[in-house]
Structure formats: structure tokens, C-alpha cells
Amino acid sequence: MTQLTEMDAGALADAIRTRVTSATEVVDAHLRRIERLNPVINAIVSLRAQEALDDARECDRLTARGLSRGAFHGVPMAVKDLMDVTGLRTTYGSRIYADNIARADSVITGKLRAAGTVFVGKTNTPEFGVGSHTFNDVFGVTRNPYDLSRSAGGSSGGAAAAVTSGMLPIADGSDLGGSIRNPASFGNLVGLRPTAGRVASARPGNAWDPGSVLGPIARSVRDAALFMSVVSAPERRAPLSIDEDPSLFLSLQPRSFEGKRIAFSADLGGLPLDTEVRAATEEAARLAERLGAEVVPVDIDMREADFVFETFRSLELLDAHDEDARLRPNLVKQTVKDDISWADDFTADTIVRAASARTQLFRRFQALFEEFDLLLAPCVQVLPFPVDWEYPAEIDGVAMDKYYSWQRSCSRITATAMPALSMPMRFSEAGLPIGVQFVGPYRGDRLLLEYALTWEGAVSDVISRRPFPIEES
């Protein structure tokens, strides 16, 4: 029989509902795996083991009465440590908030709770979610289960490492410059950056900014879709919230590549890439052709993308963390302070030009999707890098000018406001995962997932290659 920690979230929910197993057995199996693996991977923080078992037993009492709370009834999860869970320590990866106890659920947590999720704790994240490598001074660094000397990515690195290693069946993530797609690629996982507003948030800040979004990190496309069916309901406090029935994610059918036109960008406007990443991306284009698509190399005009992303990123950090940086500078890491300080030079003209450029990018990409069905591009420009690096300082001999420049293959897509999906492709010679990125039209989240079902079947041998960082006891 397949071990419970190897089963997808949807399969676990079905097994609990039909009493093939119990929520208590499922949660206990994952807690035992956390106990065994987390000391070296460090993906799960603020563990609530006994409370989780108590919650699982309550789920079983409901199951015995023929009742279910929802799609994730009895399924264990841990929420990213940027999202509040009532009564649970929520640090945002910052020493300033190391003892902060959440008074209420975030919107996404509330939806997961209402669907029957059993919360076992939180997942590690870099300080304030800043940077695509997961480390902080509260909990330390999260390691890649495929190679413990390598980064798990970020900022949803704890989430990805937990799902990759079987400590969780599925996890939530957030993505501004690549914080879902990057760790999904580093973990051989499915990672969806949905259209802004698809998964609503009521967090403080500029609710009109489409940059930062919430979405799933999963081992399968159907799990990612199931997650979306739970968390993508409209939210009145979120002005960009999409008013569509979340059940649209429950009826996915594999969408054929046969006869489709796919735009292929090997480097998204001339970005430097690791040689193995470049080779994997080109291999992905050939695979799409074998699946029946017409793959057309395109030279996409991305001139404004970095300016757009970097302007609105600094404004978001200024809004969210300027007071922390000013009042407690010794407790805020330098990259956060740097990003905030870059906004000091902004003028009204800077912001107006960035907003106009973002509109131009959006319309340019919408026009692209009138001609093509999908865009295929590299996901992360580098392989998982040494865990003791703060970030890669150069790629293929090209120096990075900012701490996030190495992830522009993701952040440039963020600037377009299009949904994007990281999917597994292959492994490097050293056994490290390499993903590729599919981009679809605005609000084309379901479309992306349906193509991903077909892609998933074509790379099933890659997806099935799971890590074993510690010998099983």
C-alpha cells in the first residue's frame, strides 16, 4: 500500500471520506515524517502537533456521523509564515515579530479551515518574504530535500520543501517576483501564480496592486486545481477579486497541445541563464513539438518589465515595512532596507511612467495571446544554489545588480499581470530539479492547468523522482 505521506491531498481527502483511513492516521503519519525530516530540512516552523491530532480526531468524529467540512476534510497543511492562523505564532520571518500570536485567520487561512484543513504549523519564509532564498534569524535556513547543501528557493521555500519531502501533501504560497514558481522549480513541483484577484487577500497595503498573489504548491496538477477550488472564492474586501465560481477548477480535462501555437522565449529578452537551465528550456520546446504544438521562437519586447517590477516592489516594501526599518534598523536585514531606500529617489513622474509601462506590457501580452495559445519560457535562471549564499551574485559570467536580479525570468512575467505556472522538466547532471514556465492570458488560470495536465503526463518519469534526504526508519 502507498504510504500516506506519498499520497496527494485529493487522494488523502477521498480516503478519509470513504473511511479507507482516518484523519488521525493521516495527520499522525505526516507528524512522524516531520519529526524525522524537519530537523535537517527546516521547512516546518511553529509546530502544533498535539493540537493537530486533536483536530484530526474531531474530523473523524464528524466522518463517523457522515459529515464532512469540505474538500480538505482531515488533510494536514501548514500555512506560510506570512499568513495569520488564529492563536498560532506568526513571525513573518522577522525578529521584530518573533513572539507575535495571530488574533484572527487571514482570508486564505479561513477558507482552508472552512474546507476542513488540519493545521500542523507554519512553513518557513525569508524575512517579510523578501528574497527567493528561505532563511531568517528566527528559524534559520530551509534546505532543498534533493540536496541538503542547496537552497529550497523562496519565499515559499518552506512550503515547497515540505511538500517535496512528504512532510505535507500540499501547501499555500505567495508570489511577487517568483516566490511560488521559484521554489516549485527547485522542488520538482507544480506551482501556480494565479491571475491577481483569483485568490483574494485582505492584508494591509495597496489592494489595487496586482503584483503579489497567493496560490498553490503541489505535487500534482489536480491537487493545485483542488486548492484553487477552495481558496478562489470572491472577497468583498479585495477590489481585484474575481467573481467567478471556484468550482470551475473541479472539472479540468487535459487540453491537447495538438495544433496549438506556442510562443517560445528562450531567455525572456536576453536574460543570462545557467547552461543546464538553457538546455532544459530548449528541450521543453522540443517536447511541446512532440506533443503536437507549433512552437514559434519569439523576441518579446520586455524593455519596461524590470522598471515596472522594481518600482512597484519598492513601493510595496516602503508601504509595508518602512516603519519597521526606521524604528528597528538593527532587526531588519539589509536587502529589505535597500529595497525601501530605492523608493526614496522616486518622483511622481517615476510612478506615473511605471504605471503606464505596466499597462503597455499587459496589452502587449494580451495581443500575444491573440496569436498564440501559450508562452513557454525558462522558470528560474539558475539551478538550486549553495544554501550558504544569500543570493546568486552572477549568472553565466554576468554580475547581478540587485539581490533579486537572478530571478528576473519570473519577475518580468509578474510585471505583465499574466498567470504563470512552473512545471517540472528534467534534472541536472548533479540531480537538481529544473522546471519550465508556462504563461497564459489574463484570467486564463484554468486554461493553464488543463495544458499542465497534458504536460504532467509527458514528464511523469521526472515528477515521480522524489527525494529521500534521510534514510527511512
Catalytic residue ranges: 80, 155, 179
For the chain, give the number of residues: 473
CA distance 310 to 230: 32
Residues 6+ apart with CB under 8 A from 78: 44, 119, 120, 121, 122, 123, 158, 159, 162, 168, 171
CA distance 463 to 55: 32
Give the helix ranges, DSSP H, for 343-434: 348-371, 408-414
CA distances from 463 to 268, 423, 424 (A): 25, 9, 7
For cell 529521500, name the residue: 468
CA distance 216 to 171: 6
CA distance 220 to 433: 15
CA distance 166 to 78: 12
Using the CB atoms, write b or e for 295-321: b if 16+ within 10 Å: beebebebebbbebbbbbbbbbbbebb
CA dihedral (329, 332, 335, 340) positive or negative? negative
Query: Is residue 400 within 8 Å of residue 393, measured between CB atoms?
Result: yes
CA distance 386 to 434: 15
Query: Is residue 133 within 8 Å of residue 153, measured between CB atoms?
Result: yes
On the question of a cis peptide bond just before residue 155, with omega within 30 degrees of 0, the verdict is yes
List own/partner pairs for 241-246 with CB under 8 A and 24 or more apart: 241/197, 241/200, 242/195, 242/197, 242/198, 242/443
| 259 Rama class: left (phi>0) / alpha (psi -120 to 50) / beta | left
HSE value, Cβ hemisphere, 13 Å, CA-based, for 208: 2
CA-angle at 172, arms to 31 and 52, nearest 5°? 30
**135 sits in which H/E element:** strand 135-136
Q: Smallest Cα–Cα separation from 309: which of 362, 273, 241?
A: 362
